[in-house]
Amino acid sequence: MPHRRGFAHERDLVRRFWSYGFAAVRAPASGSKVKRVVYPDVVAVYKGRVIAAEVKTIRKPRCVYIDKNRVEKLREFATRAGGSAYIAVKVVGTGEWVFVPIENLVDTGKSFKITPEMLAQGIKLEALVSTIKGVRKLTEFARKDDSHEAT
Amino acid sequence: MPHRRGFAHERDLVRRFWSYGFAAVRAPASGSKVKRVVYPDVVAVYKGRVIAAEVKTIRKPRCVYIDKNRVEKLREFATRAGGSAYIAVKVVGTGEWVFVPIENLVDTGKSFKITPEMLAQGIKLEALVSTIKGVRKLTEFARKDDSHEAT
């Protein structure tokens, strides 16, 4: 995937967070000079509650692999910021964003993996936002989403 | 000042925040596509406490002018993030960073201004970091700095 496409998706996520009342930034192009500091692709903050996200895009349900080093950097960032780290997966076409906490990633040895099943059960952007804003708990949201799908 | 130089200073500030235990990011190049969202030059977070900063560099003491629109965007970002907004002024040569809260800026009508006197009394990076981390209050720091200068 060319870099420009990646940036477009990151910008899309930043805009969405912004529309929900968050402050959000996307990372700059990763130049050779910034080896020591690795940024998350997107950082979103609402009243001191921080989300650090690595962005991945898929066109259809499939396994998503994330570099172990990237996950460690994301974890480090979130720990310092006092926030939470997620892999934000965009399903291109539907335009839907699904968030998987890094704690849930599957360790394959070489890298971390998200299965299509995990994506299906992942946290939708709207649910994540509501949780961060303290409107609803994730568990409530999951239940409500389930019942919706059943109808 | 060419863009590359500005980025170098922003990177310097990010590295320093990082060395103090903060999570920090610098803004990406401001492209024409991101008119709707204007990022701070640097965002630093420590355990949910957020600093949004616009970066300025000077070579010797002088007045620093900041675009009103930029200050408003910075204020908006800090409000959403539940943090504080500063103009971070680097004195090139000494390499020292001084922080001026946007509330303290002088309104000249056309723009906002920082006078050399304000810079002399500004918050040093180390003092800001200690305050955010809850080690010392800014007032204590100011007093200690004053006594240092007097000796």
Rounded CA-CA distance A125/A119 in Å is: 12
CA distance, residue B76 to nearest chain A CA (Å)? 8
Pick the more confident residue, B32 or A102: A102
Which residues lie below 8 Å from residue A102, measured CB to CB, with a gap of 6+?
A71, A74, A75, A78, A85, A86, A87, A112
For residue A69, pLDDT over 50 is answered with: yes
Rounded CA-CA distance B25/B105 in Å is: 24
Which tens digit of pLDDT belongs to each residue from B85-120? 999 999 988 889 999 999 999 999 999 999 999 999
Checking DSSP bridges between strand B42-46 and strand B123-124, what pairing results, if any? unpaired
ipTM field: 0.84
Contacts of A7 in chain B (CB under 8 A): 28
For residue A151, pLDDT over 50 is answered with: no
Which tens digit of pLDDT belongs to each residue from A89-147? 999 888 899 999 999 999 999 999 999 999 999 999 999 999 999 866 555 655 444 44
CB contact under 8 A, B49 and A48: yes
Which tens digit of pLDDT belongs to each residue from A15-68? 999 999 999 999 886 554 545 567 899 999 999 999 999 999 999 989 999 999
User: How high is the pLDDT of residue B150?
Assistant: 38
Contacts of B49 in chain A (CB under 8 A): 48, 82
CB contact under 8 A, B37 and A24: yes
